[in-house]
């Protein structure tokens, strides 16, 4: 797992609109990169809508937001359109970005263990280093928590 102070792993992935998005696209700005298990599920929807609703506040703090899951481009596009999400959603179907950030781990649900995406968030500074990591995120209120951390820095 990537830790605070580490250089953020470079990434390139396809976004919901089919374009390629990379870490280099955000150089010189703060980036909130968050990972979620599955589009159109309750927790993931709460989290995405909250980040989207606060996007102008993030931008006024010179911060961009990008979401990422293992869903397909088509699933991400439908999710984005349905909930009017206003930032890129990465379709990391091969889990390259997810694994580079350590967000794919063993999870347990109803007594069964499986490899899944752990809801987590990484604040990457303008210098490309990890400024803060949130592991095992609770979706409701998380966007406000991240924004408060950025504004308090």
Among 21, 44, 75, 117, which one carries the catalytic annotation?
A: 44
CB burial readout 101-138, b (16+ within 10 A) else e: bbbbeeeeeeeeeeebbbbbbbbbbeebebbebbeebe
Separation of alpha carbons 35 and 104, rounded Å? 9
CA 120 to the chain's CA centroid:
7
Using CB atoms within 10 Å of the CB of residue 91, give its burial: 0 to 12 exposed, 13 to 18 middle, 19+ buried. Answer: buried
The residues near 48 (Cβ < 8 Å, ≥ 6 apart) are 36, 67, 79, 83, 85, 89
Contact (CB, 8 A) for 73 and 13:
no
68 is a catalytic site residue: no
**Which sequence positions are flagged as catalytic?**
44
């Amino acid at each position: 797992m990537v830790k605070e102070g580490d250089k953020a792993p470079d990434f390139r992935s396809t976004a919901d609109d089919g374009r390629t998005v990379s870490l280099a696209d955000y150089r010189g700005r703060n980036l909130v990169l968050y990972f979620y298990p599955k589009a159109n599920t309750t927790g993931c929807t709460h989290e995405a809508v909250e980040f989207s609703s606060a996007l102008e506040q993030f931008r006024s703090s010179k911060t961009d937001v990008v979401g990422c899951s293992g869903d397909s481009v088509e699933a991400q596009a439908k999710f984005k359109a349905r909930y009017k999400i206003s930032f890129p959603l990465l379709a990391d179907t091969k889990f390259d970005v997810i694994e580079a950030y350590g967000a794919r781990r063993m999870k347990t649900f109803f007594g069964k263990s499986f490899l899944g995406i752990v809801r987590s968030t990484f604040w990457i500074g303008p210098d490309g280093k990890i400024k803060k990591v949130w592991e095992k995120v609770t979706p409701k209120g998380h966007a406000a928590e991240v924004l408060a951390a950025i504004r308090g820095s």
